[in-house]
Structure formats: structure tokens, C-alpha cells
Structure 1
Amino acid sequence: MDFTPSDRSNDLAHRIEAFVEQRVLPLEAELFGRVRSDDERWQEPRAVRELKAEARGEGLWNLFLPDRELGAGLSNLDYAPLAERMGRSLLAPEVFNCNAPDTGNMEVLYHYGSDDQKAQWLEPLLAGEIRSAFCMTEPDVASSDATNMEATARLEGDQVVLDGRKWWSTGIGHPHCRVVIFMGLTDPDADRHRRHSMVLCPTDAPGVKIERMLHAMGFDDAPYGHGEVSFTDVRLPASNIIAGPGRGFEIAQGRLGPGRIHHCMRLIGLAERALKLACRRALGRTAFGRPLAKLGGNAERIADARIAIEQARLLVLKAAWALDTHGIRGAMSEVSQIKVAVPKMAQDVIDLSIQLHGGGGMCNDYPLAAAFAGARALRLADGPDEVHRMQVARAEFKKYLG
């Protein structure tokens, strides 16, 4: 295994790091540091749009897509360091048009979409003209087992009819969200992994209603947000089904492999930022006549945080290499391993930084509280820890079964 990034990856990583430090973080501090009305918070600031134009003009745009014409054409291993640099800011991924869930939705359309679907939805997403959401999780069933889904996508002649309720539909609150990917039950009598379909549903289709916006550990994550959405007799052309009926699980596996690499590397970037803030605080704050760095075992905790970040990064790079080399079926254990290990690591490092910042770490004067909520949420998003541990254990047991 060779985790050495290509020269192109190195160049892009340095450019992203400079752009984030010089352009994105100052804007993030300005936006998050002042009180804005609810109406203002749920709009895309003009400064963000201008920063996106700058990033696109510098060629720092759609870097996640493995296509040299539409994206950067990078492998998962080469994109991983870029995602880490973007992850140091809560704002940066969208500035580079590399934010979830849009990246996953664009990858679905790129790999599985028809020419018409690509023209209607992929092209404006790649241009940053619209945003999207992914509607899979449901409030009334244990969505960790996706075969439990009760929402339906029934075929009626040349139409597909959507009914059901979804929640934690991230991005649905964005003012430019124009389409969602809806996953629903199409054929209850088919094999359990051939029952569901993914359907492109415009947000303005009759019968689509945002019932409420949810708070994640007290944060509403405006202007993206997480919504509970109802679908009532939503009638769409059957051509809105992605790749055909019954292929929802197949598409989901293809979508989630690279997406989990992206999530984990962004979290490593966030953990790096938290550790940087922790070190500055420990060295610059005095209590009982001594710097915090020399009190209460804080130096050892800082050392443990550094070790944990390095271990997590290597594990993610191995997963990225395995995904590039063997595809998702050959990398399922590695991808599940990082999905368990990295959010927990990030949570621990961010918690250390919060502790060193005292009361300041609990409020929005620092990005730590929001970062902690994000890390905690990712222990549930894209599959809870328990499901991924089960996947890892299954792979281990398989080695020792005749």
C-alpha cells in the first residue's frame, strides 16, 4: 500500500489550505460571530456566493468528482487530503462545491443517471446553481435497517407515486434546494435488496411539504438545515426513477463508499482545527499561576489527541486506497472501520478543546460546540456505529469460516 498523494493532489491541497486560511475562515468568523435575523440566516449570503465564484475561477471546484472534464478526476486517495483541508471550516466544503449531501447526489447522477436526468439536475448542481437533499431516513421506523422503510414509490403506468414521511433531510432548508433524491419501497415482494427505488423529486412538486426544520443538538445549521418532509400522492414521470425500479440499495452502496471517505477526512480536518485551538489556549491561558499546558495532565491529553488524529488519518487513507483498488465490495470492512473510529476520535478531540476553553467553548465565540454536534451526528449519519461494527465483525468471522 502506498498512501503518497500525487503531485497534483499535493498542489491542490496547498492551494485549498491557503484559500481556507486567507478567505474562508475570516468570512466564517464574520458570519457566525454576529447576530443575524432568521430571515437573513436562511438565505445564502452574498459574500458566500462571491467566494464560490473566486474558488471556481481558481479551479478549486467540484474536486470530489472522478471525471477530468466535470471535476478534478482524482482517486479517493488523492481527494482525501483535499477533503481534510476543507473540513477545517464548516463553510469551506460548499465554497468549493464539495459539500454533503450534494456531492453524494451528484455522484449518484454521474454514475447512474440518464442523459436527461444529468441535463436537468447534474449540470446545475455542478455549476452550483442549485442545491439538493437526500430523503431516506424515516421517523417511524428504525432506519438503521433500511429495509424497514415504509415510504413508497409505487409504479402506476408511466408514473411513479411517492407517499411517506422522511426526516433529517439535510440541505432541504437551503434557499436554492430544488431537488431531492427520495428512496422508497416499490416492490414489497421482491428480494429485500431489490424492493426499493431512488426517485428524483423536485421540491416544488405538488404533495411535497416541509413539515418542520429540526435542530441537531441545539443547532439548526442554517441555511442548509435538516427537515422533516411529507410526500402525499406525489406523482412524477417514471423516468424520474434513477437507473430503473428496484435499484435503490445498489445505488446507495455506490453512493456511500466515497461519501464516507469524504465525511471522515473532513472530520479529521475539524479535529486538527480543534487541536490547534486547544494548544493555543493551553499555552496562552494562565490559571493558578501556570499555563494550562502545565496543569492537570493537559500536555498528556494533547499528546493523546495528536496520536489519535494520526491513527485515524492512516486508517482513512487505507480505506481510500482499498476503495480505489478493490471497489466498495472489497473495501466494506475498511469503510465501516473509519465510520466508527473517526467520528468518535473527532468527538474526543473537540471535547478536549471545549474543556480547555471553559465557558467559551460552549458558546458560538468559538466553532467548537457546533463542531462537537457535527461529529456526534456523524455517529448516526450514513449508518450508526452499531451497524458498521456488525459489518466489520462479519468480515472478521468470514475469515475463519471453512
Structure 2
Amino acid sequence: MFELSERAQGFISKTKAFIENEIEPIEADFWHEVHTLNPDSHWKSWTWPSQLEILKNKAKQAGLWNMFLPDPTLGAGLSVQEYAHIAELSGKSLIAPMVFNCNAPDSGNMEVLWRYGSEQQKQQWLKPLLDGKIRSVFCMTEPDVASSDATNMQATAIIENDQIVLNGRKWWSSGLGDPNAKIIIFMAHTPDATKDRHHQHSMVLIPIDTKGVTIERMLPVFGDYDAPHGHGEISFDHVRVPVENFIGGAGQGFEIAQGRLGPGRIHHCMRCIGAAEKALELMINRGMSRKAFGKEILQLGGNLERVAEARVAIDQARLLTLYAAYKMDTLGNMAALTEISAIKVVAPRVLEQVVDMAIQIHGGAGVSQDTPLTAFFAQARSLRLADGPDEVHKGMIAKIELAKHGYSTRRQA
């Protein structure tokens, strides 16, 4: 079931070697420079170290570029399951996804434009994104409503003659602080009494410098602003763009979102598994290199059992995620709804648990920025909210299970 083509194996081997030879040797210094260049309070002047473009050019020359995209001309032409293995490898590093131009939210936004965008939209925005010349932002979550139910959305995209008028406020818009962010995909309510509730939302392309678009602030995650990527709050005050800026047409927002989130969840979850593997590696090396009470730390207090538990949990999560990818490739996203929801619950939790174990073994170093563990922990905890909270995904799993036995989760009158 999980056999890989020779071509996919080639991409995986080259990716692994590139990370080991080009990224890992410089990553600690890279992040030290990031923190030096980007004081949290000065987000308008955030910037990336020059090393990032050097690495991106090397990756592009090596053919390790846009590997997430199943298009064989614009990307690597890999299946979801094949790319999943590359996502796991890139998850071991905090910069590898950017180096390969496979980072969120750009990968999801590029896939949206590739699948649903017009030719004009592809030329204007998809091409520079694929070239790595610009970055993008996805605006969906709102501060004043329960965004786990996207039909609560208050932001609006109203058609007036040949323009779309946009109003609203979004937050946790990832990538908003990036100095190369140029285009926003904005999801909003487009009221239409003739359509059902899942055909009254649209996705609209908005250049970030459009009049009425205001970046209000950057939001810290556990006290870290994730500079210079950033997660921000942004307002839209009577923003006007041409009606041609609808992606796929008015009212297609939910359909597009489902197409975007399926593969994206595989990417997120496999990166979680890669990060968990890295955390376990750090945990073992730390635990076997330091002694207390005459023994290596890993030999004390049930720590060996924790290593075993981590191994079991990581392998279970990987198999479940690969199974979800397999079903998506062979049967389509709708056939994999249970598995897609399940991995969104399982993979971040496994990462959270393994990182917690690794932090404990590292002691004080574990909660510093001397290792990637705090960043991995923030990633894990945040993903249990991103793309829908755990409770929403569990609700979907339960609904499907009950339906198999002829029951409904709808409330009785």
C-alpha cells in the first residue's frame, strides 16, 4: 500500500541529504541571526538573514523546489502520499519548508490558485509564488466570533457593479509580518438568499498594499512573535478590488477551503511527525550524554519507558497519516474524511507529548531557545487549534461513525 516509486525515492534521498549537508550545519546560527535582526517590537522592519536566499537558490538548483505541488511541470508531480515523506523530513528543521518553497501558508495558497485560479491570477500571483519571489497570507479566523464554525464569519465581500467591497477584521493571519508578503487570500461572507449556507462565502485576492488594508499588530505565540514570519491582526475597511479577484467565483469559498485543507493537513501532520522524530533524537542524545546519581539521565526514573512510548506513538501517527494520504490519492478527499480528521487530532498531540518528554530530559535548556524544542512545542499546541480545533475533528469522526450504524448527531426536536 505504501510503496514508493523510484522517482519519489530519489526526491526523498536528495531531500534528506540536502537537509543534513546544507541546512543542519547552519540552522542554529541562522536562528541566532534572526533573533538579532528582528526585535519583537519593530515588526515593520523585520527581515530574513541573507543565508535564506542562498539556501533557496541551492535547493532550486538541486530540483528540490515546490515538491508539494502534484503538477509535474510546476512542481515535482508527486502524489500526496509520496510528498508526505518529504514533509516529514522537512519537519525536522524549522527552516527547511521555506528553503524548499513548501512552507505554509504559501503551499496551500499556491494549490488554491493552481486548482481554482484564473489564468490572469496564475500569471500575476501564482507564478511569483512558485518562483519564491513573494509570499502570501491567508485570512480566515476572526477575533469576535467562534471561528471553529466558519459560517459565523462576519467579514463581508459584497459585489458592487464591477468591484468587490470588503470589510472585516481577521487575526492569526500567518506570514503577515514577512517582508516579502504581497498578496492576501481573504475569506468572507457574500450574502445570497438563493444559495444554501455553504455557498455564501467567497475567497478574494487582495494585494497587501490596497487602500483600506491595515496591519494592526503582530500576535505573540507563548511570548514569541515568530519573527520575521509573524502572525498578525489585520483590518479591512471598505477595501475595493475588481470582481475578477474572486477565486473560482462568488460563493465558492467553502468548496475551495475543503480542497485546500485536505492535502495541507497531511503536510502539517507529517511535519509534526518529523519534528517529533527530531525531539526524540535530541532527548536520547541529551539523556545519554549527561549523568546524575552515577547513571546516564535516560537510565533514571522510567525515562527508557518514555523513549519506548515515544517510538510507538510516532510510528502509529505516521502510519495513520500515510493511510489518510493513500485514501486521498486513490479514493479522493471525501472518502478520507475520518482519517483526515483523525490525523489532525493525533499528530499534534504526539508531537506535544514527545516534546514535553524531551524538554524534561533537557532541564532548563529545554525551555530556552538553545534547542528547537520550544518552537516545536508551540507548533504542536497551535496546530490543535489551526484548521479547526480538536473538538471539531472529533465531532466529524463521531458523526461518520454514527452514520455507519444509521444514527444521526442532529438534535431531536
TM range (shorter): over 0.9
Q: How far did residue 94 of structure 1 move? A: 0.5
Structure 1 residue 246 corresponds to structure 2 residue 246: no
Conserved? CA contact 1:199–1:241, under 8 Å: yes
Q: Tell me what 1:23 maps to.
A: 22
- Percent identity, please: 57
Alignment of 1:240-279 (within 5 A): 240-279=245-284
* TM-score calculated relative to the size of structure 2: 0.95
Match of 1:76 among 74, 77, 80: 80
Alignment of 1:369-380 (within 5 A): 369-380=374-385
Q: For 1:364 and 1:329, locate their aligned partners in 2 and report how far apart those are by CA, in whole Å.
A: 41
Q: Tell me what 2:411 maps to.
A: none
Q: For 2:25 and 2:67, locate their aligned partners in 1 and report how far apart those are by CA, in whole Å.
A: 22
Q: For 2:163 and 2:3, locate their aligned partners in 1 and report how far apart those are by CA, in whole Å.
A: 49
Q: Tell me what 1:12 maps to.
A: 11
AA aligned to 1:366 is: T
Query: Is the partner of 1:36 in helix, strand or coil?
Result: helix
Q: How far did residue 222 of structure 1 move? A: 1.1
Structure 1 residue 167 corresponds to structure 2 residue 174: no
Q: For 1:62 and 1:161, locate their aligned partners in 2 and report how far apart those are by CA, in whole Å.
A: 33
State the superposition RMSD in angstroms: 1.1
Q: Tell me what 2:346 maps to.
A: 341
Query: Is the partner of 1:120 in helix, strand or coil?
Result: helix
Query: Is the partner of 1:337 in helix, strand or coil?
Result: helix
Structure 1 residue 311 corresponds to structure 2 residue 316: yes
Match of 1:293 among 298, 305, 318: 298
Q: How far did residue 27 of structure 1 move? A: 2.4
Q: How far did residue 188 of structure 1 move? A: 5.3
Q: For 1:183 and 1:354, locate their aligned partners in 2 and report how far apart those are by CA, in whole Å.
A: 38
Q: Tell me what 1:186 maps to.
A: 190
Structure 1 residue 217 corresponds to structure 2 residue 222: yes
Q: How far did residue 14 of structure 1 move? A: 1.4
Conserved? CA contact 1:109–1:122, under 8 Å: yes
Match of 1:177 among 171, 178, 181: 181
Alignment of 1:26-45 (within 5 A): 26-33=25-32, 35-37=35-37, 38=39, 42-45=46-49
AA aligned to 1:330 is: A
Q: For 2:204 and 2:314, locate their aligned partners in 1 and report how far apart those are by CA, in whole Å.
A: 38
Query: Is the partner of 1:199 in helix, strand or coil?
Result: strand
AA aligned to 2:11 is: L
- Most deviating of 312-321 and 8-17: 8-17
Structure 1 residue 359 corresponds to structure 2 residue 358: no
Q: Tell me what 2:410 maps to.
A: none
Q: How far did residue 282 of structure 1 move? A: 1.1
Q: For 1:207 and 1:351, locate their aligned partners in 2 and report how far apart those are by CA, in whole Å.
A: 43
AA aligned to 2:24 is: L
Query: Is the partner of 1:65 in helix, strand or coil?
Result: coil
- Most deviating of 4-13 and 52-61: 4-13
How many residues are treated as equivalent by the alignment? 401
Q: Tell me what 2:64 maps to.
A: 60
* TM-score calculated relative to the size of structure 1: 0.98
Gaps in structure 1 of 5+ consecutive residues: none
Gaps in structure 2 of 5+ consecutive residues: 408-413
Q: Tell me what 1:137 maps to.
A: 141
Query: Is the partner of 1:193 in helix, strand or coil?
Result: helix
Q: For 2:15 and 2:162, locate their aligned partners in 1 and report how far apart those are by CA, in whole Å.
A: 46
Q: How far did residue 340 of structure 1 move? A: 0.3
Q: How far did residue 33 of structure 1 move? A: 3.2
Conserved? CA contact 1:32–1:364, under 8 Å: no
Query: Is the partner of 2:332 in helix, strand or coil?
Result: helix
Conserved? CA contact 1:194–1:247, under 8 Å: yes
Structure 1 residue 93 corresponds to structure 2 residue 108: no
Q: For 1:281 and 1:246, locate their aligned partners in 2 and report how far apart those are by CA, in whole Å.
A: 53
